């Protein structure tokens, strides 16, 4: 545990009610774009793995936290709670939802997300390199997480915007992760867009370069695919199988 690094990391994390967030909202409005952000969220002196959606009007329409940080993440980040289950928002381009990293491994979290009528899913991941062989977990390799996004599109019949972070050698040196099982080599970037039937719509960028991929989203393809399979509609069996959820905020101090 590097306590000094943790302090610097917290100081550079984004608070929802901060001036930095207001700048991002203004940028979205000025450019008439919907912005989905994955970030370290700071509330007080606690950190969470956060995501937010800013509409093209500049309004912050969704803010959530990863429900359960995974493995080493738990040394730094707290859990999400009930309001984070409301992770799909209506925007100027359709209903947009978000999940972070291993949220996608949990079928209940996934089902909860696309049950909200999601049309565009933003899938956020850390740097994810191709699997190097050996004992490293294949589940956190580029091949595996990209497959998750393709399958997500097929399950939800929505478009999926798949995005991983890029890590540089200076970042590896600063974080001291050289020689560790994960995040130990430069690159790890992957930006893709999948159609509602799971097909890839974009051309890959070099994994060591930050960039943007583009695709025209024909929203009528969603209805086409849902006519074949709609897990929350005609293909569901809610009289036999259903999902219960608690969306209330679990405050540490409550007045009764």
Residue 27 has pLDDT above 80, yes or no: yes
Beta bridge partners of 161: 122, 193
Q: Output the average pLDDT for the chain.
A: 95
Residue 94, phi then psi, degrees to nearest 5: 125, -170
Whether 76 has a pLDDT exceeding 90, the answer reads: yes
Using a pLDDT cut of 70, give the percent of the chain over it. 100
Interval 139-197: pLDDT, tens: 989 999 999 999 999 999 999 999 999 999 999 988 888 877 778 889 999 999 999 99
Res 44: pLDDT:
94
CATH class of this structure's domain 3-228:
alpha beta
> Rounded mean pLDDT of 54-59?
98
Integer Cα distance of 85 and 97 in angstroms: 10
Please name which of 230, 142, 138 lies closest in space to residue 188, comparing C-alpha atoms: 142
The pLDDT of residue 183: 83
Give the predicted TM-score (pTM) of the model.
0.95
Q: For tokens 């219960």, what's the residue?
A: 244
CB count within 10 Å of CB 104 equals 21
Q: Say whether 60 sits in a helix, a strand or coil.
A: strand
Place of tokens 């997480």: 145
């Amino acid at each position: 545990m590097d306590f000094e690094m943790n302090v610097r990391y917290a100081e550079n994390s984004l608070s929802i009610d901060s001036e930095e967030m207001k700048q991002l909202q203004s940028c979205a409005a000025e450019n008439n774009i919907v912005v989905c952000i994955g970030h370290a969220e700071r509330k007080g002196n606690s950190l969470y793995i956060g995501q937010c959606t800013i509409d093209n009007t500049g309004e912050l329409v969704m803010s959530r936290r990863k429900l359960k940080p995974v493995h080493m993440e738990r040394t730094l980040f707290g859990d999400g709670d009930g309001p984070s289950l409301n992770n799909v928002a209506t925007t100027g381009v359709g209903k947009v939802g978000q999940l972070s990293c291993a949220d996608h491994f949990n079928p209940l979290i996934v089902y909860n997300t696309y049950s909200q009528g999601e049309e565009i899913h933003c899938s956020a991941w850390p740097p994810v390199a191709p699997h190097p062989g050996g004992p490293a977990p294949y589940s956190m390799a580029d091949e595996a997480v990209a497959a998750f996004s393709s399958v997500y599109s097929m399950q939800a019949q929505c478009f999926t915007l798949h995005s991983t972070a890029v890590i540089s050698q200076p970042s590896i040196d600063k974080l001291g992760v050289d020689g560790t099982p994960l995040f130990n080599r430069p690159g790890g970037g992957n930006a893709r867009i999948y159609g509602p039937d799971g097909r890839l719509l974009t051309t890959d960028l070099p994994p060591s370069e930050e960039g943007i991929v583009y695709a025209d989203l024909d929203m009528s393809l969603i209805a086409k695919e849902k006519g074949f399979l709609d897990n929350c509609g005609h293909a569901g069996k809610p009289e036999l199988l259903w999902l219960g959820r608690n969306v209330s905020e679990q405050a540490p101090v409550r007045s009764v």
